[in-house]
Amino acid sequence: MWTERVVAAVVVAVGIVAAPVAQASSARPACDLVTDAPNDVMPATPDASNSDYDLRSADVATDKRSLTAVIRLTSLAPEDAASIAARDYEFDFAANGHTFGLLASLLTGGASFEAVVFDTNEAGGRMGSDLGAISGVIDAGRHEIRITAPLSTFAPYASFKQTYIDQLYVTSARAVGHDSTQSPDGRVQVGSQSTAYVVDDAGSTARYQPGRRSCVHVGK
């Protein structure tokens, strides 16, 4: 499904502490925790390929050290240096009473990846704290984005030892006006956007038990 909205997010930095250990499980591998019908996007712009925003499925998985989210699309072109707008992809999930987001932005100068914890909901957007730079892969051949963060990234908020990962929500958006300037207190202002319109979104009530076997290759 798609939902049109304007997003205004400001993200600030916080510390990172030691990593917890994820649980192991012999259950059947988890796969396609989030699914979405094809060709259900809101038209982006005449110069953009709608299929680059068309979500098909998504998953999240952990091992003892890392968490990886995968977002799959109908197609996925590399970053376009000629485009004035970025493509934003986000995988949100909840654990231990906190909501987190893994963000991938395909900018004109390359791709960037961030992890955030959302603190509050406010008119026009959500306020979140930056949990640090993480890694990601833009895999045009497989039409998927893979975002990986060390479990230590989330340690101040979620241990992943006795919890489920749920409230899964994935979005693709067309954004203009990314800003990486410094805030007055010296903290980096990440993900500030003048306008960002969600082109496609998908949610799921599925739960993932940390450490459970998955079709996701964690960390790759």
Which pLDDT tens digit goes with each residue over 4-61? 443 433 333 333 233 333 344 456 788 999 999 888 887 655 445 688 889 999 999 9
What pLDDT score does 133 carry? 80
pLDDT, average across residues 170-197: 57
Q: Answer whether residue 103 shows pLDDT above 90.
A: yes
Q: Answer whether residue 65 shows pLDDT above 70.
A: yes
pLDDT, average across residues 155-172: 89
219 found inside a domain: no
Task: Check: CB of residue 174 under 8 Å from CB of residue 44.
Answer: yes
217 found inside a domain: no
Tell whether pTM > 0.85: no
The DSSP secondary structure of the chain, one letter per residue, reads -----B---EEEE--------PPP--SPPB--SEE--TT-PPP--TTS-GGGT-EEEEEEEE-SSEEEEEEEES------TT-SSEEEEEEEEEETTEEEEEEEEEETTEEEEEEEEEEEEETTEEEEEEEEE-EEEEETTTTEEEEEEEGGGGTTT--SSS--BEEEEEEEEEEE--B-PBPTTS-B-BSB-SEEEEEEEEEE---B-TT--BSS-TT-
215 found inside a domain: no
214 found inside a domain: no
What pLDDT score does 45 carry? 52
Q: Answer whether residue 154 shows pLDDT above 70.
A: yes
220 found inside a domain: no
Greater confidence, 197 or 154? 154
Range of the domain at 37: 10-204
What pLDDT score does 106 carry? 86
What pLDDT score does 92 carry? 96
213 found inside a domain: no
23 found inside a domain: yes
Into how many domains does the chain fold?
Answer: 1
Range of lowest pLDDT (8-12, 33-37, 99-103, 167-171):
8-12
Cα gap 116→134, rounded to integer Å: 10
How does pLDDT run across 68-98, given as a tens digit for each residue?
999 999 998 877 666 667 889 999 999 998 9
Cα-Cα end-to-end distance for the chain: 28
212 found inside a domain: no
